[in-house]
Amino acid sequence: MTNRKLLQTAAALALLVAAAPALAYDADWKRGRIYYRSVCTSCHVALPVGSINPSSKTKAEWGAYLQADRHAKGKDKVSQYVGQAYRNSIKASNKAAEKFVAVPDPELADDLKAFLLKGAKDGDAPASCS
Ligand code: HEC
């Protein structure tokens, strides 16, 4: 290999390494918002719990809440309601669940998180639930 070739190879490798993080999933907060408002909120308003505004918690509180993955005082999990199995079970009566039925669970979970953090009390755009 000539020196020039070596340099070219090194430059190509450096580019690859620099580009790697771009391959990570880029969360879609708008999809998260649709899901939160159509799936999460539609259940909350139908139950005595009532609507839960994203702006009712700080970013740190939402982060910890999602990380703990304990929903309804630990009765079940938040991840369960983002999951494909749940979307499948309600898709006949819920348009958002039907629309996003094929989205991989980790992607939708990231979308939801992006929306909740953006809409948090101290987020970029504090949001209500509807
Ligand atoms: C099938 C109904 C239902 C769905 C769907 C649902 N929730 Fe809930 N959620 C509840 C109920 C009921 C409570 C209140 C539990 C209590 O206070 O005992 C609750 C409470 C909460 C709370 C208050 C803290 C807690 O856990 O008690 C948050 C935050 C929350 N839900 C977030 C979500 C998010 C995010 C989603 C969507 C991914 C979601 N919920 C989907 C029924 C639902």
User: Along the chain (130 residues), what's the average pLDDT of each consecutive run of 10 residues?
Assistant: 66 57 81 97 89 96 98 96 98 97 97 97 88
Q: Which of 65, 71, 90 to mutate to test the pocket of ligand 1 (most atoms within 8 A of CB)?
A: 71
Question: Among candidates 83, 86, 77, 81, which has minimal Cα distance to 106?
Answer: 83
- Give pLDDT, residue 49: 84
pLDDT at 98: 98
What pLDDT does residue 37 have?
A: 96
Does the Cβ of 100 fall within 6 Å of ligand 1? no
Between the CA of residue 94 and those of 12, 73, 99, what are the distances in Å? 47, 25, 9
Query: Would the CB of 47 count as within 6 Å of ligand 1?
Result: yes
The reported pLDDT for the residue numbered 122 is 97
**CA–CA distance, 56 with 129 (Å, rounded to integer):** 10
- Tell me, in angstroms, the distance from the centre of ligand 1 to residue 39's CA: 10
Instruction: Indicate the residue type of 89.
Output: S
